[in-house]
Structures are given as C-alpha cells and as structure tokens.
C-alpha cells in the first residue's frame, strides 16, 4: 500500500466512524422518544434497558450505515478540496480515480460486510429486540401510591390513602376494596391509620392497619339475588400482605420466529415457497367449494319445487308464471332460501377475497425482505459514488455544507425507498422495481457526478453559469430579430 492510499484511508475512516455513531445515536434518540411511555415507571432493571438499547441500535444499522458513508465521503473529499490538497495531488500526476481507488475497495468490503450483517446478524437482532420490546410494553407499571387517588396496580384490590407521613411509611384514612370474588364491592376495609412497608426483596407490600373496620356483604352463591346478613367487624390492628411482581416476564422467542423480519435468505425463500403452495391449495379448495355450492343452489330452484309439489310441467313455463302459481307460503320460503343463499355466498366470497389478499401481501413482504438484504449493501456502494465526487466538486469540508448536502440526498434516497417499498407491499408496483427504485435513480446520478468530478467539470461554479446566462441573453435578441424579419 502506497503512502497516498494510507493517507486517503486515514482521512476517510475517522469521519466514517464518527458519522456512523452520530447517525446511530440520533436514530436511537428517536426510538427512545417514541417509546418513552413504555419504558418509564415500570421498575425495569438497568441491564434490561441496556439490552433493549443494544438490540435497537443493531436494527438501526441499515439506515445509519449508508448515511455515514455518504456524509463521510463527502466530508473527506470536501476537506481535501478546501485545503487544496486535492489540487496538489492532481498536480503531482495522481488523478481523482486513483485517489478514489482505495476507498472504492473499502466501500466494496463494507458492502459485503453489510450484506452478511443483514443476512446473519440483523434477523437475530430483530428477534431479540422485538421480543424484548413486546415484554417491556406489556410489563405493568411499578407500584406507586399517590395521596387521594385510587390505585389498581394490585390486580383484584383497589387501594386509596388520604395522606402519607413524612417518613414515607405512615398512612392515614385507608380504603381497600377486595374484588377477588368477582362480585363487585362486597368487601371493604377501612382504617384510620397504618404503615405501608415493602419487604426487603421487593416481592410484597405489607399493610399494618390500626383502628379499622371490615365490611362484607354475604351473597348466596345459588341465587345471587338473595343476600344474607351484612357483616361488620372492627379491629385495632390488622396486617394485609400483597404480593407484587416487579420482574420482567419474558415471552418465548420461538413465538416471534415466524415473522419475515427474523429470517435470513434461506428461511425467507423456504417460507415464501410454503406460503405460495398453501395459497394455491386454498384457491383450488375455494373453486371446488363454489362448484359444490352452485350444485346446491340448483336444488333450491323454485320451478323444481313447484313441479315436485304441484305436478306442473315447468319445461314450457316462464319463471314469472311458475313463481306466481305457488302458494304464498311456498313463495315466501323460496324467497327466503334464495336470499339466505345469496347472503351466504356473498359473505363467503368476501371473506375468501380478503384472506387471499392478506396471503398475497404476506408473500410480497417476504419478497421485499429478501430484496432488502441486497439493497442495503448496494446502497452503501452507490452513496459512496455520490458523496465522494460531490465533495470533490463543491470543495467544502467540515460539518456545514456537507451535512446539508448529504442530508438532502439521503432524504431523497430514503423517500424513494419508502415509496417503492410501500407500493410493492400494496401490489401497485412490481416488487423488483419497487425495491430497486432508489438505487436505479441514484446509480446514474453517481455515474454522472463521478464523470464530472474526474473531468474537472465546473458543475457548481457560479462563474460558469453566469457566462452561460450572458450568452443566452445575447442569443435571445438575435432570435427576436430573426422573427421580426
């Protein structure tokens, strides 16, 4: 490796790592802001939060890596151009193509690693992240008693305290409703004061109540309308223990493995084939059921019913004449049977249509996930060929103009990707074209910018455009003069 290659690599790797982690951090903050209500107030352990953040960060790599490559390549060649290092290297006989060669090789390596990451690491990260997020979202809030507010965090018990002492344990004017019998407010405990203490291991809360009353309405289980005498029992001291579960209950991860997000290329291909075979089987069964149903409809023919019950030759009669020869009871039965058969057929066709549409959409999502494994690595390579020549053309480094330009290009790339993907999911666009829409647009752009940068074309030179406007201004009067003549 020559010194110039090592110099270019050192100049590029630093911004690449920095921008990658900055982009990852921004995406992670967006995730935390979106799910902050699901994380706060549930008493989660710190290692659970770190595990969730780690897996979430892994799933953001497909979006952060292309942005980092675009921004870092633009910053690298922008800095070289701004400090005239690019001019000095070109004057030494080193072309821009030669300078880009080590970074092209590095970008190819990164693209290969990105493909391996999306095929082997990303499915596992998605599985861990989505299963853990599901468990966190369904975790109950940590038990907290607020003054004057009824608390329902203890399952079948509803509690309320009027005030708390300065020590944090003393409580006053306590109400406890027991709904464990699922019969309403038939059991109530009141107390003038008490103590609320949590066990050392945090698995239970112990209420020690003073000077209170237990109320209970006895209900006859055989006949809930009949009640037995009302029971009232006073006490000077009573202890009630409530078991609480602050631990995170983990769901079996195998329940999430059937989603296409958690599959690699081989699993996606196998699952898609199975879904297509099952869909074709469903369609064949539906076709056979429709034929059987049509055979059943022939048995409900009113003319046949008249012929059977009234001994009338219906071969020479029109429908109206046959229908109106029926008795009113038979006519109403025929109409009811026809309407019921039509409604059943309509509902069946509608249900089957929705089922087929859902299965088709699931198959399309599998195909989209399959293509995504390749579009990520290809996007890394394309965006490098957009950012590197663009930085050499604008000749501005730092975090100013390069950030603005790279953000605009990446937003455009992301919007095109989302348009293509959602159109492919809805079935309005071919899956291959939809998934490769952004790449097919940015590939010619990268080729064009690379050509302009290597040929030293003044693409963003204001003087060039000013001279073009002056020539156009001189040419316009000549056109008008020719038209007048």
What does the pLDDT read at residue 355? 92
Read off the pTM: 0.74
What does the pLDDT read at residue 223? 61
More confident position, 481 or 392: 392
8 Å CB contact between 241 and 204? yes
The 10s digit of each residue's pLDDT in 430-454 is 999 999 999 999 999 999 988 888 8
What does the pLDDT read at residue 222? 60
Q: Where are the domains of the chain?
A: 3-139+371-473, 151-243, 260-369
What does the pLDDT read at residue 181? 77
The 10s digit of each residue's pLDDT in 245-263 is 656 777 888 888 888 989 9
More confident position, 183 or 128: 128
Q: How confident is the model at residue 240 (pLDDT cuts 50, 70, 90)?
A: confident
CA 154 to chain centre: 32
- To which H or E segment does residue 288 belong? helix 265-298
- Own/partner long-range contacts of 89-98 (Cβ < 8 Å, ≥24 apart): 89/4, 94/4, 95/454, 96/389, 96/392, 96/453, 96/454, 97/454, 98/4
Contacts with 399 (C-beta within 8 Å, 6 or more apart), sequence order: 75
Q: Count of CB atoms within 10 A of residue 174's CB? A: 21
């Amino acid at each position: 490796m020559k010194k110039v290659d090592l110099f270019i690599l050192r100049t590029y790797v630093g911004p690449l790592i920095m921008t990658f982690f900055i982009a990852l951090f921004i995406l992670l903050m967006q995730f935390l802001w979106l799910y902050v209500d699901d994380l706060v107030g549930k008493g989660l352990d710190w290692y659970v939060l770190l595990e969730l953040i780690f897996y979430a960060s892994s799933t953001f790599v497909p979006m952060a890596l292309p942005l980092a490559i675009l921004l870092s390549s633009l910053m690298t060649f922008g800095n070289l151009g701004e400090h005239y290092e690019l001019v000095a290297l070109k004057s030494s006989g080193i072309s821009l193509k030669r300078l880009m060669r080590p970074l092209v090789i590095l970008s190819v390596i990164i693209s290969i690693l990105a493909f391996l990451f999306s095929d082997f690491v990303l499915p596992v990260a998605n599985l861990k992240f989505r299963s853990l997020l599901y468990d966190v979202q369904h975790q109950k809030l940590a038990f907290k008693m607020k003054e004057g507010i009824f608390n329902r965090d203890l399952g079948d018990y509803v509690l309320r305290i009027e005030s708390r002492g300065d020590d944090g344990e003393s409580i006053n004017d306590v109400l406890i409703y027991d709904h464990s019998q699922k019969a309403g407010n038939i059991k109530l405990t009141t107390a003038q004061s008490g103590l609320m203490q949590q066990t050392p291991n945090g698995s239970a809360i112990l209420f020690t109540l003073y000077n209170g009353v237990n109320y209970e309405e006895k209900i006859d289980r055989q006949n809930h309308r009949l009640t037995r005498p009302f029971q009232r029992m006073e006490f000077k001291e009573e202890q009630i223990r409530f078991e609480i579960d602050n631990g995170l209950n983990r769901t079996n991860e195998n329940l999430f493995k059937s989603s296409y997000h958690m599959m690699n290329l081989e699993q996606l291909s196998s699952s898609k084939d199975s879904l297509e075979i099952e869909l074709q089987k469903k369609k064949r069964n539906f076709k056979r059921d429709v034929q059987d149903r049509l055979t059943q409809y022939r048995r409900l023919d009113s003319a046949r019913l008249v012929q059977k019950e009234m001994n009338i030759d219906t071969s020479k009669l029109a429908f109206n004449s046959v229908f109106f020869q029926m008795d009113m009871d038979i006519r109403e039965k025929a109409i009811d049977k026809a309407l019921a058969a039509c409604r059943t057929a309509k509902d069946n066709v509608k249900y089957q249509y929705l089922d087929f549409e859902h299965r088709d959409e699931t198959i399309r999502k599998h195909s989209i996930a399959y293509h995504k494994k390749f579009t990520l690595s290809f996007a890394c390579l394309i965006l490098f060929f957009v950012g590197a020549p663009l930085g050499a053309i604008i000749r501005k480094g730092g975090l100013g103009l390069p950030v603005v330009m790279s953000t605009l290009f990446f937003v455009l790339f992301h919007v095109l990707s989302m348009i293509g993907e959602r159109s492919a999911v809805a079935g309005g666009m071919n899956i291959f074209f939809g998934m490769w829409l952004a790449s097919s647009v940015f590939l010619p752009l990268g080729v064009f910018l690379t050509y302009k940068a290597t040929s030293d074309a003044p693409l963003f030179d204001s003087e060039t455009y000013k001279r073009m406007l002056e020539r156009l201004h001189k040419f316009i009067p000549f056109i008008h003069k020719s038209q007048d003549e």
